[in-house]
């Protein structure tokens, strides 16, 4: 065997795998808002560590096996023009086989141990931190999330406010079909299964907005079932909480009063606005709607133009969603829509 050739083959193989790695780590490729290659909390970090552990073990095997493979093709290829002589016949070697089996079993144990440790760590809030944990109930609906804070007496939708540095214990349920709760930078996913209560926890190490997405196929607008996690320092979180506990603001201008009147002619069948007659439980709670950044479960920026379009053409904005004006006998003029927009924007 020619040592130079082995070195050449390893170099070629290494170069090709190097290209893959470069492609994976290409600047910007892996730091998007949903990339789980960026961990902003301890749970995501533990999961990311196990991932990279498996990557390194796999890369080691891949480079080893790949080099032998490429070398074998190069070294033993039939030379053009040469006759296809029958090479020396061999049927196998028990020693080689046993050695390789033992080696691969060892590599599995090497992966299994950190995997098991991480699994138990990410399963539930560590014992010594149970006291400070904030409980959240996340309920998946077609196609939005309802967030309840059972200990704080607050309910909101699609934008989950949490305090930085505190463990968040999430209880995941479904109101209809399967969904899955996933905020990649904070933690792996957990399914929402009808009739079952699933649990997970996570923690955000720094303040900011984290993108979430439903990851269990749930029908027409599965792609449009996004949400945000807003991590705030304690003071800001408390402030948000105080506001959230209040009843909805009363309409101030004539247009807002008109908007509320129209709201009570149909929208109230499905939406709740605390402190008014709107007690609907089908759609998201709108008591503090104006504080939300997005519309339609994280898919549109919350501004006047989008809101007016949403009210007029909900089916075009989000196929299949349950908001159906005909069903509640609402026929809206442009002026009505403007009034509704004004009213909703007053619900700080």
Partner 1 sequence: MATHTDVVTKPGPLPELAEPGMLGPRPIAKSGIWSWLTTIDHKRIGIMYGIAALFFIVVGGIEALLIRIQLSVPNNDFLVGDLYNQMFTMHGTTMIFLGVMPLTAAFFNYVVPLQIGARDVAFPRLNTFSLWVFVAGALILNLSWFLGGAPNGAWVGYPPITSPQYNVGYNSDFWIMGLLVLGVASVAASLNFFTTIINMRAPGMTLMRMPVFVWMTLITNILILLAFPPITVALVQLLMDRSFGANFFNYANGGMPIMWQHWFWVFGHPEVYILILPPMGIVSEILPTFSRKPLFGYPLIVFSGAFIGFMGFAVWSHHMFTSGMGVVAVLAFSITTSIIAVPTGVKIFNWLGTMWGGNLRMETPMLYAVSFIAMFTIGGFSGIMHSAAAADYQQHDTYFVVAHFHYVLVGGAISGLLAGLSYWYPKITGRILNEKIGLAAFWTFFVGFNATFFPMHIIGLSGMPRRIYTYDAAMGFNFWNAFVSVSAFVLALSFLMFFYNMYYSYKHGAVAGNDPWDARTLEWSIPSPPPVYNFALTPEVTHLDDFWHKKQTGQPISSAKSELVHMPGSSYYPLVISVGFFVMSMALIYIRNHTLLSTVIAVGGFLTMLFAIYGWSLEGPGGEMLDPNKESGAYN
Cα torsion angle, 217, 218, 219, 221, sign: negative
Query: Which pairing describes strands 144-149 and 154-157: parallel, antiparallel, or unpaired?
Result: antiparallel
Is the CB of 267 or the CB of 299 nearer to partner 1? 299
Closest contact distance (angstroms) between CB of 336 and partner 1 is 27
Closest contact distance (angstroms) between CB of 88 and partner 1 is 6
Is the CB of 37 or the CB of 325 nearer to partner 1? 37
Is the CB of 216 or the CB of 256 nearer to partner 1? 216
- Residues 344/289, Cβ–Cβ less than 8 Å: yes
CA distance 72 to 100: 18
Is the CB of 77 or the CB of 242 nearer to partner 1? 77
Is the CB of 32 or the CB of 153 nearer to partner 1? 32
Closest contact distance (angstroms) between CB of 334 and partner 1 is 25
Cα torsion angle, 54, 56, 57, 62, sign: positive
Distances (CA, A) of 210 to 33, 118, 134, 160, 327: 7, 22, 18, 10, 35
Is the CB of 39 or the CB of 339 nearer to partner 1? 39
Closest contact distance (angstroms) between CB of 261 and partner 1 is 33
Kindly provide the residue ranges of all beta strands, DSSP E only, lying in 109-196, ordered along the sequence. 134-141, 144-149, 154-157, 159-163, 168-174, 179-183, 187-192
CA distance 141 to 181: 11
Distance of CA 37 to the CA centre of its chain: 13
Q: Coil, strand or helix: which one is 31?
A: coil
Supply φ then ψ for residue 133, to 5 degrees. Answer: -70, 140
Closest contact distance (angstroms) between CB of 345 and partner 1 is 23
Q: Supply 73's token pair.
A: 């093709």
Cβ atoms within 10 Å, residue 57: 14
Is the CB of 50 or the CB of 295 nearer to partner 1? 50
- Residues 202/135, Cβ–Cβ less than 8 Å: no
Closest contact distance (angstroms) between CB of 247 and partner 1 is 33
Closest contact distance (angstroms) between CB of 122 and partner 1 is 6
């Amino acid at each position: 065997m020619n040592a130079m050739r082995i070195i050449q083959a390893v170099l070629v193989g290494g170069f090709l795998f190097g290209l893959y790695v470069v492609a994976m780590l290409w600047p910007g490729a892996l730091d998007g808002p949903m990339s789980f290659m960026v961990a902003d909390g301890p749970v995501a970090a533990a999961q990311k560590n196990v991932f990279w552990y498996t990557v390194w073990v796999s890369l080691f095997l891949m480079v080893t096996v790949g080099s032998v493979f490429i070398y074998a093709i190069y070294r033993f290829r039939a030379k053009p023009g040469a006759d296809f002589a029958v090479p020396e016949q061999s049927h196998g070697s028990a020693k080689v086989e046993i050695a390789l089996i033992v080696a691969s079993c060892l590599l599995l144990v090497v992966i299994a141990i950190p995997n098991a440790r991480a699994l138990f760590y990410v399963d539930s809030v560590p014992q010594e931190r149970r006291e400070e944990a904030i409980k959240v109930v996340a309920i998946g609906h077609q196609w939005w999330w309802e967030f309840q804070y059972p200990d704080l007496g607050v309910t909101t939708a699609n934008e989950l406010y949490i305090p930085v540095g505190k463990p968040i214990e999430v209880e995941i349920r479904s109101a209809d079909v399967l969904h899955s709760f996933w905020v990649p930078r904070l933690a792996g996913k957990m399914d929402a299964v009808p009739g079952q209560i699933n649990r997970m926890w996570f923690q955000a190490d720094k303040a900011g907005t984290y993108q979430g997405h439903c990851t269990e196929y749930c029908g027409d607008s599965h792609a449009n079932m996004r949400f945000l996690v807003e991590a705030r320092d304690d003071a800001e979180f408390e402030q948000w909480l105080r506001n959230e506990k209040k009843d909805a603001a009363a309409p101030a201008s004539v247009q807002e009063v008109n908007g509320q009147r129209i709201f009570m002619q149909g929208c109230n069948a499905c939406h709740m606005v605390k402190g008014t007659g709107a007690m609907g439980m089908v759609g998201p709670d709108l008591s503090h709607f104006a504080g939300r950044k997005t519309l339609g479960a994280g898919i549109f920026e919350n501004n006047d133009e989008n809101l007016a379009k949403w009210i007029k053409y909900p089916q075009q904005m989000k196929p299949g969603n349950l908001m159906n004006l005909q069903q509640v006998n609402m026929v809206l003029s442009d002026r009505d829509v403007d009034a509704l927009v004004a009213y909703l924007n007053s619900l700080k």
